[in-house]
Structure formats: structure tokens, C-alpha cells
A = this chain, B = another copy of it.
């Protein structure tokens, strides 16, 4: 394996889907939000991305089966929107900057062939004050304002580290539209509350009101 490669498991037909990405990071906010989304929408896996830049360890599941690190793609046909959701347990090695660029390109190449023209990345931002909040960064002032009106705070003069920011900024380079939804989190431990908040905000933006407690028990444990 010298390059990243994509394995297709199914060929779902999706009209103008929205791409939603949630990976590990601060408070694991993005990954938790993506898992909630997958559970809530009953999304189905249809593709996997492997890369030699992913960590050099493998996970063993409860039955003892080994599994290479990978990103998993799910699809969910909602009433109003088709969704493509990507998550995974890992990001490229911390200090392999070039790998981040390559993997994000690979992801965008793939979702563009699926017809995605709108990109949502979800993540956490470390905040010392104790206030839960969803921050927003966007590919255009119009989108930033639109999501601000929905209740997010503009992440003005901030900095987003890793795939959450890179995917959005690369999407902008490709003239795609998109936003980063960033949940404030006070620690490095898995922050379910922040993950739930980002998930809830996304669903509301898509026209679904989520009640507290509905999916909380389905969050991944880590």
C-alpha cells in the first residue's frame, strides 16, 4: 500500500447529498457527533478509505478479528437531504503534515464524484471558560451569517487544527460550499455533551429538531 485507496461496498444512488465528516480530536466531539448522526439516521456503510499514513497499529474487535485503520463512509436518505457521513477512529500521524493534505484531497475527490456540493465538518475547540456553544467557520460570508442566524457564533480569527479545518478550506479552494461546526469542550476526554450539541445543531439546520436524551445512550464509549 503506497497510496490511499477507496474500497466501495455498495453503490447507493444519492441525489445532491450533503457530506458530513466527524473525526477524533479535541474532546472527540466530531467523532461523537458523527456516530449520533449515523445512529439517528440509521445510515448504512458503503465505502472505506485506507491509507499508509494512518497509524501503524490495528484494532481487534470483541471477537478477536483484526482491522486496519480506516475511514468509514455511510449514507442516509433523509426526507429533505441525502447525507454521506464519514467517521473513523484515527487521524493521520500527528507530525505527518503532508498526509493530512493527501487524505483530505482523497476524501474530497471521492465525495465530489458522489455529487456532494456542500461539506460539513464537525469538531471540537478547546475553551477554558465553561460555556457550551457551537462555533462556525465557513467557505463564504453568506454561509457564516446564515449559520450565525441559526444560533452559532462566528469563530472569528480562530485556527482549526487537522482534518476538520483542512477539509473545509480545501473544499473552498474547489468552489464547494461548506461549514465547520465546532463544539466548545473543556478537556481532552470524550465530551458527549459537546458532541450531542453539535449533532443537534446540525439536525436543526437540516430541519429536524432533536430532543435532549433521545440518542444520548447511543454515543460511542471512548
User: Would A68 and B173 count as touching, CB distance under 8 A?
Assistant: yes
Q: How far is the CA of A144 from the CA of B46 in the complex (A)?
A: 26
Which of A13-21, A56-64, A80-88 interfaces with chain B?
A: A56-64
User: Would A166 and B64 count as touching, CB distance under 8 A?
Assistant: no
CB contact between A60 and one of B62, B160, B162, B170 (< 8 Å): that residue: B160
Which chain B residues border A53 with CB–CB below 8 Å?
97-98
User: Would A95 and B98 count as touching, CB distance under 8 A?
Assistant: no
User: Would A140 and B65 count as touching, CB distance under 8 A?
Assistant: yes
Which of A99-107, A186-194, A203-211 interfaces with chain B?
A: A99-107
CB contact between A66 and one of B1, B60, B180 (< 8 Å): that residue: B180
User: Would A65 and B160 count as touching, CB distance under 8 A?
Assistant: no
User: Would A166 and B60 count as touching, CB distance under 8 A?
Assistant: no
Looking across the interface, which residue of chain B has its beta carbon closest to that of A182? B60
CB contact between A57 and one of B66, B139, B156, B161 (< 8 Å): that residue: B161
Q: In the complex where A58-B159, A161-B56, A161-B57 touch, is A65 in contact with B101 (Cβ < 8 A)?
A: no
User: Would B58 and A166 count as touching, CB distance under 8 A?
Assistant: yes
User: Would A64 and B101 count as touching, CB distance under 8 A?
Assistant: no
Q: Measuring CB to CB, which residues of chain A are less than 8 angstroms from any residue of chain B?
A: 1-2, 50, 52-68, 93, 95-102, 105, 136-141, 144, 148, 154-163, 165-166, 168-170, 172-173, 180
